[in-house]
Amino acid sequence: MKIKLVTPAPANARNGNRATADRWAKILRQLGHLLQVEQSYDGGECDVLIALHARRSFDSISQFREKHPDLPLIVVLTGTDLYRDIRTNANAQKSLEWATRLIVLQSMGLAELPRRLHSKTRVIYQSVPPISAQGRPPRTEFQVCVIGHLRPEKDPMRTAMAARLLPASSKIKVIHIGRALSREMETRAREEARRNPRYHWVRDLPHWKTMEVLRRSHLLSLTSRMEGSSNVLGESIVLSVPVVASRISGLVGTLGENYPAYYPVGDTRALAELLLKVESDPKLYAELRNYCARLRPLVKPERERSAWKALLRELT
């Protein structure tokens, strides 16, 4: 089939949505389809349109539906779609109705949709190919990695704030990778790095370098307020780096209800206590590593490829 995949993220973007689009493009080509990735639908001929973002890709969705009302339309729901826009934005709500199929990226996403839409919704977990990053965590400190661009939905400074509350005996150091998406966030990160000796902001890095930093970390801290899914969570699972995470649907949908290292969203003191507990309790740390190891089948490329193959077969 000839498929067009629309994502608002430009080709040179280093963010999760672009990474997802590029990975899916590779998978769909491997399955034998002709694939074009575009920022918006150009009106060209295709057999299927896949649109990331119900709201931000609405113009493309609307144009495609008007031109090809009988062709399959697949809408992929991101975190801002699921946990904000489909509740309040008319365009996002229209995208849900117009879609032939909806995709959510973890099992809890279904709970955010009206039951009448469940029959046309599929769960496709994001996969992670083998990662060649090398290295080991340092012995002289307990390195906690934060990966993600600095924007409010990620609650990006929460780990740094929690690190301020740690006792002097703690060896925790926080390394934060990500670009500030506003002047306010940049100022705040710079000021935090100046005042907080446990916090180091390295800004944006190439993906290979980010994976090396993650591989050499003891722990990944995921502090999002909303998340459709998380590429870096899958990467940490593949690299055997355990995580502490905010208890939100988009992370619970992958980690599971019983994961032992959640903290309440936005609760700085609870996160500080959790970080210290993971640092100081070898049994808990081993439990987290083992738990994440059991999740690896979820992020295998073969699983994601099979899910796409089955979905497209439904539409032909």
| Domain boundaries defined on the chain | 2-126+300-314, 142-298
Between 282-294 and 231-238, two packed helices, what is the crossing angle to 10 degrees? 110
List pLDDT tens digits, range 169-215. 999 999 999 999 999 999 999 999 999 999 999 999 999 999 999 99
Q: Assess contact for 178 and 16: CB atoms under 8 A.
A: no
Average pLDDT value for the chain = 94
Q: Per the structure block, which two tokens stand in for 25?
A: 């493009």
pTM: 0.87
* CATH code linked to domain 2-126+300-314: 3.40.50.2000
> Which residues on adjacent β-strands are paired with residue 280?
none
Two domains, one topology: 2-126+300-314 and 142-298: yes
List pLDDT tens digits, range 252-275. 999 999 999 999 999 999 999 999
SS3 content of the chain, % helix, strand, coil (to 5): 45, 15, 35
Task: Indicate left, alpha or beta for 196 from its phi (over 0: left) and psi (-120 to 50: alpha).
Answer: beta
Q: Taking 80 as the threshold, does the pLDDT of residue 10 lie above it?
A: no
Please state the CATH superfamily assignment of the domain spanning residues 142-298 in this structure: Glycogen Phosphorylase B; (3.40.50.2000)
Residues 6+ apart with CB under 8 A from 211: 131, 133, 235, 239
Confidence of residue 132 (pLDDT cuts 50, 70, 90): confident
